[in-house]
A and B are shown apart, each in its own frame.
Chain A
């Protein structure tokens, strides 16, 4: 089971930089692991701590947030807000026993197709070594009700 563990990685990518870099990686025909599921956001500043925690609740083994280079955020400071929220979420993940290393923040410009592929590879390998997330998918009895995370459900269960 452990030998063929394929991590499930969710990547929140900002439209202006990271998502465009991903697109460039595709255009350049660069190869990167299919384990990475991209969620495009207008800016990483849109990413809330709650999204990051819920991604793990829904079964992600690793999550990363990819935004513009610091100082170059299309919305000026969105990526700085994301940086702080990722730091907080990492602390929470440590406290709940998941480990903060499963969540990372990366910065790249829209031209950095190869960097996007490199990050995808790096994160996939790191999570592969860490092993599957200790979270066992629970029946969705808890929170506000199922259907709340339709989009995340589709991404995670692809």
Chain B
């Protein structure tokens, strides 16, 4: 899922400075799972913002809502009913959701309540780590299901660099060497021969470096 982290309250307070009536909109998707923008976080943030405003001698009216998702038009429509009663929308969804709200509610300033970080997994309750960088050219079949782009700090494609030490990465000693992980896994699977398959120079145009991407399924278009 997409992992995000709530922005510091002071930063959000500065963003909502000109407004007295805002919608605080959470999302039941990824940000709920990584406890950054779900119903709970909406409640806590809205309460904190109201308290902060109160200590400044000002008031803040908040509408707390948590939408199913913010990345699909249909799920944003319910906000249409009351949006005009509010001056701005503070969205706790991932960057995609925040932008979609901005696109669909053109008369409202839409503010980000979280910093969207990476695509990752829940390693344990309260700990989320990166697994995928959406490079558009998955080679996980050749690397035992471990991604060299996201788990190697240098995104090397054919083995570790000289800095791999005791299975840890030279860039950050707390981080495992991605290629050590790949080697160990391929060994476990009895697929060490896959290491002899040279992964060619990556076509980065399929990744972010090629500009904003688009995917279409013609069979689904009405």
Contact = CB atoms under 8 A, between A and B. Distances in A.
Interface of A: 48-50, 53-54, 56-57, 92-93, 95-98, 134-136, 138, 141-144
User: Which 3 pairs between the two chains have the least Cβ-Cβ distance?
Assistant: A96-B52, A97-B55, A53-B47
Nearest to A138: B59
Given A95-B9, A95-B10, A48 B54 contact: no
Given A95-B48, A97-B52, 16 more contacts: A48-B40, A49-B44, A53-B44, A53-B48, A56-B51, A57-B47, A93-B51, A95-B10, A96-B48, A97-B51, A134-B54, A135-B54, A142-B50, A142-B60, A142-B61, A143-B50
A98 B44 contact: no
A102 to B, nearest CB: 11
Contacts of B62: 142-143
A97 B50 CA distance: 11
A77 B159 CA distance: 44
A92, A96, A134 — which one has the most chain B CB atoms within 10 A of its CB? A96
Given A138-B59, A142-B61, A143-B64, A50 B43 contact: yes
A95 B60 CA distance: 17
A135 B46 CA distance: 15
A92 B45 CA distance: 9
A98 B51 contact: yes
Nearest to B39: A50
Contact of A96 (B9, B43, B59, B64): B9
A92 B10 CA distance: 10
B166 interface: no
Interface in B28-63: 40, 43-44, 46-52, 54-56, 59-62
In the complex, which range does the number of interface residues on chain B fall in? 20 to 34
A9 B206 CA distance: 59
Contacts of B8: 95
Nearest to B51: A96
A157 B51 CA distance: 19
Contact of A144 (B50, B54, B55, B64): B64
19 contacts: A50-B44, A50-B47, A92-B9, A92-B48, A95-B48, A96-B49, A96-B51, A96-B52, A96-B55, A97-B52, A98-B51, A136-B54, A138-B54, A138-B59, A141-B61, A142-B46, A142-B62, A143-B46, A144-B64
Contacts of A96: 9, 48-49, 51-52, 55
Contacts of A57: 47, 50-51, 54
Contacts of A93: 51
A116 B85 CA distance: 48
A95 B8 CA distance: 9
A97 B56 contact: yes
Contacts of B40: 48, 50
